[in-house]
Amino acid sequence: MRRAGVFSMWFDPVKDARLPGDIEPPRSATRSERTENILLTGSTGFLGAFLLDELLDQTDATVHCLVRPSSSQPSAQRVRDNLSAYGRWRPDHDSRIRVVDGDIEKPRLGLAPDVHDELAERVDLVVHSAAAINHVLPYPLLKKTNVTATHEVIRFACQRRAMRIHFMSSTAACVGRARDRVLLYPEERVHASPATLVSAYGLSKWVAERSLQNAARLGVPVTIIRGGDMAGDSRSGIGKTTDLFHLFLRLFVELGERPEPFSGQVNIVPVDFAARMAVFVGGMTDGETFKVVNLVHRQPMPVDGLFEFIRSRGYPSEPVPLGAWVDHCQAFIRKHYSKKQAFVLKYLFREESDGRLFQWYFRPYRFVTDRLSEAIAASGTACPPLDETLWSTYFDRLVDIGYLRPGVEPV
């Protein structure tokens, strides 16, 4: 099924995934198994802060953080402030963090020539986390950041030596429309066709994955870590509130209503666990040139369970017909949400032949998680269950920062 905004006669995602002819690893390059120098993109983002912390914790490497320069604040200060905002800054970080100005969208990653050449000689691993995350923008507006930049990362990894690439992807790159079927999404390959993808953002990540698969065929060692929705830190509750899940959660709580009919599941992963597993999985050496890891919660929560918890916190949750609930949401959004958030939700509330678009967000997708299970067993790090303890941590934090109003006495 093709939808406006995802597919168009004006672009070809399969063609976009083909690598430019000048991207090719040096024939004499040997694969480096050591990890003394890491190039990290996206270190000033939400997930990036936790990835940086875990790279410093799980390796002895120097981490070179590629940051787009800003006129308002030095790049190094932005990295430190971001770590501090999520409770991840430690004084000993400074000695192993090196911040370099650049731009992933530009040729040679926007690096100064001498910095580029130095990193090309030294870097063993590139962790590519930077991305434009937007479920409404059309593919052409996402291509430069999510596709062209990935090609630049691959080109950089092929300059002097066989660098490894770990790519933080998204389940949006594979989940799609299947009407009444529940599809099973494997780990061993990129999703075969982009034709059923729900969003243009998912399409841009699919093209990036396909590009990296093509790079692996040239001999570049690639690990794709396909993450689901990242919730806050499982211990502190600190996270971001601008993602789709939190936008919907606020509607569920503040309206005191739940739509009917409405079913499905909530599959979110605490960001601290996700970052720990992403780094650990990347460090598992098995000789494969290309592998995919589905980094999702292996025991998602039914939507009914979330509404039960909401009621237990003292918030009403009255059943309302789906159409009326959407109308109530639209009125609340116009009053309490930013224009950007309102635009996103208005798009997701759109009614199509197979239901409201937002309902696909809660579909009970199934993922093969064999590699994730192996990493959990080997690391001894269990994924926090989506239980009352975790939800209480999140709700306490959201109430403390004023994102949610306090409930009445729990019932």
Distance between CA atoms of 316 and 258, rounded to whole angstroms? 9
Q: Which two tokens stand for residue 108?
A: 């040679």
Q: What is the pLDDT of residue 1?
A: 35
Distance between CA atoms of 191 and 184, rounded to whole angstroms? 11
Q: What is the pLDDT of residue 46?
A: 96
Q: What is the rounded average pLDDT for all residues in the chain?
A: 89
Instruction: For 151-164, give the secondary structure using H, E and C.
Output: HHHHHHHCCCCECE
- Average the pLDDT over 178-203 and give the result: 76
Q: Tens digit of pLDDT for each residue in 286-322?
A: 678 899 999 999 999 999 999 999 999 999 999 999 9
Distance between CA atoms of 227 and 171, rounded to whole angstroms? 6
Residue of 69 and 349 predicted with greater confidence: 69
Q: Tens digit of pLDDT for each residue in 94-125?
A: 899 999 999 999 999 999 999 999 999 999 99
* 359 strand-pairing partners: none
What is the distance between the terminal CA atoms of the chain, rounded to a whole angstrom?
45
Task: Please provide the DSSP assignment of 260-296 as one string.
Answer: ES---EE-EEEHHHHHHHHHHHHT---S-SEEEEEES
Where do the domains of the chain lie, and which CATH numbers do they carry?
13-228+269-295 (3.40.50.720), 244-266+301-363+384-400 (no CATH)
What 3-state class would DSSP assign to 353? coil
Q: What is the pLDDT of residue 2?
A: 43
Q: What is the pLDDT of residue 350?
A: 80
Q: What is the pLDDT of residue 335?
A: 87
Q: 355 phi and psi, to 5 degrees?
A: 110, 180
Q: What is the pLDDT of residue 30?
A: 61
Q: Tens digit of pLDDT for each residue in 159-182?
A: 877 799 999 999 999 887 665 555
Work out the number of other CB atoms within 10 angstroms of the CB of residue 336.
12
